[in-house]
Amino acid sequence: MPRLLIVNCSPDALLQRVAAEGGRKYDALFVESIGRHVPDGQTLEHFTLNVADGEGLPQGVQLGDFDGVWLSGSPFNVYRLDQPTVREQIELARAIWEAAVSTFGSCWGLQLMTAALGGTVHLNPRGREIGVARRIRPTKAGRGHALLRGKERTFDALCTHEVATLPPGATVLASNEISAVQAASISEGGRSFWGVQYHPEFDFAAVAAIISLRIERHLNEGLARSREEVAGIVADFRDLSCDPARKDLAWRYGVGSDVLDPMLRTAEFGNWLRAEVLG
């Protein structure tokens, strides 16, 4: 039975607040998302490591005992090395790489591995993408890479992120007008990392919860003009999560099947599972 290590990079206290706003913990979202792509007759075993709260692997368990690792999102900034958990998470990402365990990173996960392998992460001068990352386009390398198999030539994705400059040897697989790195892969010998700057594991309820926790931040960055406007977006996203068939809301926010259909939205996980974990 394949074993996955879920590295939860967000403090549980924050995830409790996300849950109170109608979202779910990131590990639960990932388990559901990748579970959609498990072949009939197979099961996955998974273990969650709450690294942001200082948790380590149990005695006798090694990174090499796992067939794959997922690095979750996080509220931290990779360039804030004054935060002890950031340094610890970078060291863990480097250890995972050295252990040659195939790894997938969502948002912070991509940034974390980037920093661990010599790249940089910085605030995006073009601003932040919150909610839906628009018009993501696979590069020439991306069109031939298994990560984006089944994705359209231009697609949208649920997101909340900054931007990364990749380490030497990495390949950019997708980009858009806001971020030059929306998806990437890094490989060396038997080591492999796939990462995306967006969140395939997110649903609209998750995005709504995060937006509701960052109202002032959105107002300060000019992403909304009033608290009432933010509240309206949150309510609409929650409604879309409950009923993806709401054509009025899909039209209002310009979203299609690439984010409304759970199989399409999580396709990157299925591609990684088949090619890197089960393959």
* Residue 72 DSSP class: -
User: Which amino acid is residue 177, in one-letter code?
Assistant: E
The CA–CA distances, whole Å, from 120 to 72, 112, 133, 257 equal: 18, 9, 21, 33
Residue 155 has a CB neighbour count (10 Å cut-off) of 25
Q: Which residues are catalytic?
A: 107, 199, 201
Q: Is residue 12 classed exposed, middle or buried when 0-12, 13-18 and 19+ CB atoms within 10 A define those classes?
A: middle
Provide the pairing of β-strand 183-188 with 191-196: antiparallel
Do 37 and 274 form a contact (C-beta atoms < 8 A)?
Answer: yes
Q: 61-96 burial by CB neighbour count: b if 16+ within 10 A, else e?
A: eebeebbbbbbbbbbbebeeeeeebbeebbebbbeb
Smallest CA-to-CA distance from 134 within 198, 229, 202 is with: 198
The whole-angstrom separation of Cα 170 and Cα 168 is 6
Smallest CA-to-CA distance from 85 within 50, 52, 122 is with: 52
Give the DSSP H or E segment for 228: helix 227-242
